[in-house]
Structure 1
């Protein structure tokens, strides 16, 4: 398939019957659109979030569109390691595999430095460390499902402001910048996707990073004042509709196979909107440093108290 010249749309989604899909942040925005599309294709969709009322309303809205959809809401807070572990324990007790994990949920540009329940800077704690811990806890179910894991990033993850120090993940040695903190968390997510694929592909798991493109979502609610107003106006004028942004995520979730990169060996690629269609543009330069990726992985395991094991027990 020539990704540069072939227009890919949601209409090309394959049947997902018999496959179980988890979507963090599936109650709104891009996560909701992806959940809706995958449920319509026959997947069993588990919408994950911390707000039960909002989550159950999203499930009902999807059922109105697809009355025969098989889906449910499960409560889990990415900002609380105990909540992540408890949810994963409940799921693993069922013995059911997971075939697709969409790590979509996130926070953006929180005006003042805030911390998660575990003391992590809120962007890094939610956008990266929460998903890192969730994926680790679910690993037995992901292995049995030969799963695809899609980590949603953003264009800022490729900017110079996104450079990060694994020994200073919470940016305590520098002044706080809302967009800088968001950018670092998104770069960390790309590095996680690349390193996860490198480590897990031998046991049948694939990992893909994706930039859904600019779209108006609830993420922009934290950007205050004139800067926020301008950003939302530009997103409305120049950004993609939510359905189109979700197509990037859906393409990453269902494309036939990750690509190969001569720079770092087998890699998940980096899917963005290109030529009016999703396409793989390769790993951003900031994520190509294997030493930084490995240091980030070790630090994340230490902070979240999880250990990834890719051997079958």
Structure 2
């Protein structure tokens, strides 16, 4: 099948994508919506009339973002809720507090390249726990709200080209048996983001729910706070030499908005970059773009869902 394309590209902004869309009456949650591409995602949705909840670990940061967005868009329907993806009780609380239908769930928050192996209280590797398991719990918890959306609902998983670095290591997800590498661990979690979209679509399309994943592009935001100065310097050198192009946060949010509102992506299980569907590339291909076969594999997606359910069950049992 031909790849899905839109009229947008790498230079488009979130405002470009939502122009002409009336999202009045639509309700959205954006995790990590207080900074970076998250805040520009919220701004674009709010400018089109949507009611948006910024789900953030620091409610004060979220409140500052909401005030700024109100000032630039005139929206009075941007709300803030506390969400700590490493605290599954926090996830459960936001689910319990949600009332009514949910049209858009944008799983945007994340952590990148922690320099040392860190584990949660449950022994879960922190990047996998934050980027995938917390979002998985939120997504599953909000299923009924998404299914209640009158015109169907969309889930958007913000992934990364980092997924090219690693599949999900099902036999050693939490890096107990191999040497820890920050980028491998990050890559595994970003592959999981794509697999979540694949399996959520398979399971829930009949409920009117579809999910897509995306690579927003290279954007310098707070996400890079754990990345070493040497790596950052290398990226900046590559940009000066023209081998790497960084986007603005507004451009980075554009692909998120395409996945969220563009009619071309009313179906699910796709991976986007630069506002269009990306080609599938072999697992061993030496590439810097595209989506690995391992990230779209239906068996991997089904297995990850089941493994994730097992993780949550152990949490609820207090293990």
The normalised TM-score by structure 2 is: 0.85
Matches within 5 A, 1:188-207: 188-207=192-211
How far apart are 1:281 and its partner, in Å?
2.0
Quickly say closer, same or farther: Cα 1:269–1:302, change in 2 above 3 A. Answer: same
**Which residue number in structure 2 is paired with residue 11 of structure 1?**
16
Instruction: Choose the corresponding residue for 1:228, options 218, 229, 232.
Output: 232
- Deviation of 1:230 after TM superposition, in Å, equals 2.1
- Corresponding residue of 2:58: 51
Is residue 2:155 matched to residue 1:149? yes
On the 8 A contact 1:121/1:170 being kept in 2, the answer is yes
Matches for 1:1-313 after TM superposition, within 5 Å:
4=5, 6-7=7-8, 9=12, 10-13=15-18, 14-91=21-98, 94=99, 96-145=100-149, 146-157=152-163, 159=164, 161-231=165-235, 234=238, 238-258=245-265, 267-273=268-274, 278-282=275-279, 284=291, 285-305=293-313
1:311 match: none
> Structure 1 regions of 5+ residues with no counterpart?
260-265, 307-313
Q: Structure 2: where are the runs of 5+ without partners?
A: 281-290, 315-319
Q: Return the offset for 1:168.
A: 2.0
Say if 1:213 and 1:272, in contact at 8 Å, map to a contact too.
yes
Secondary structure of 2:265's aligned partner: coil
Across the two proteins, how many residue pairs are aligned to each other?
291
Q: Could you say what the CA RMSD is over the residues aligned between the two structures, in angstroms?
A: 2.1
Give the SS at the match of 2:106: strand
Q: Distance in 2 between matches of 1:209 and 1:5?
A: 16
Shift of 1:235: 6.3
